[in-house]
Structure 1
């Protein structure tokens, strides 16, 4: 017999979501994490939201930073998304294509778009934190079909979850 939590997880496991990489510069160096919870909240003023499940490590660094970048990833970024989704994987390597913005945030230069933002509010919800952020800049990169996440896999729009 399934539980509400198992049913909830299964429901969202089957629901495709765009993949983002959220990065920030901290006193200890750059931090970053993969997120599939990024959503547009408002266009006037521009705002977005995302959630994190921790308040330490990379998530804690992003939450404590004065600003961060939300990279909306293209289909070629699956290896980078996987690296930032796993603790201990190589991050911010030259091969991944990083540069720093003049404001200090690590920027994945070939991401289709990177939204520079700062947190307006952080709301606890169970073991997670919902972040509401004001967008303060947009950095455009090369056009690319989006990277999506479904059923614990990174996919392009040309792939199906049944492949």
Structure 2
């Protein structure tokens, strides 16, 4: 029997590795999700933000674990999902790693009247609150109600593919 379960575990591990490889090659938009937590401002970089519905306005994203920064963010009453432009690549790197300096004066954050850290030069910021937290393995899928949308200046989007931040060539159309 142990050979069967080891085979299943090996298959699951290989499938997971292949899934990660497939998604590494699939480009995704980059977002910064921020909140005013009980311990102060928190934020993380995400490439899993998706639209769920327009009516009611809803979005989704996933976090790797619901502890630390992600746990504090999910415990906040609301959060701000910033769609990042290519000018935000350095900021995305900072918020993608633990321990890097966040919410410094140079980064340009202000506060929304509701308390969330807000990056005014983002092309779009969606203020939302979690509706459903769905555990999936070691990750948590968040389905959130969009409460407000702040549209900023248009900017070329920041993309993420194969562990690198990329920009679109605005001159190239297919």
Shared fold per TM-score greater than 0.5: yes
Q: Distance in 1 between matches of 2:54 and 2:166?
A: 28
Residue 89, structure 1, aligned to residue 100, structure 2: yes
Q: Distance in 2 between matches of 1:150 and 1:158?
A: 15
Residue 121, structure 1, aligned to residue 132, structure 2: yes
User: Following TM superposition, by how much is the alpha carbon of 1:24 offset from its aligned partner in structure 2, in angstroms?
Assistant: 0.2
Structure 1 match to 2:147: 136
Q: Which runs of 5 or more structure 1 residues have no equivalent in the other structure?
A: none
Aligned residues: CA RMSD: 1.2
Structure 1 match to 2:82: 71
User: Following TM superposition, by how much is the alpha carbon of 1:141 offset from its aligned partner in structure 2, in angstroms?
Assistant: 1.7
Structure 2 match to 1:157: 168
Larger radius of gyration: 2
Q: Distance in 1 between matches of 2:135 and 2:67?
A: 14
Question: SS at the partner of 1:40?
Answer: strand
User: Following TM superposition, by how much is the alpha carbon of 1:105 offset from its aligned partner in structure 2, in angstroms?
Assistant: 0.2
- 1:45-77 CA-partner distances (Å, limit 9, x unpaired): 110000001111110011101000000000110
After TM superposition, the score normalised by the length of structure 2 is: 0.88
| Within-5 A mapping of 1:1-163 | 3-158=14-169
Q: Which runs of 5 or more structure 2 residues have no equivalent in the other structure?
A: 1-12
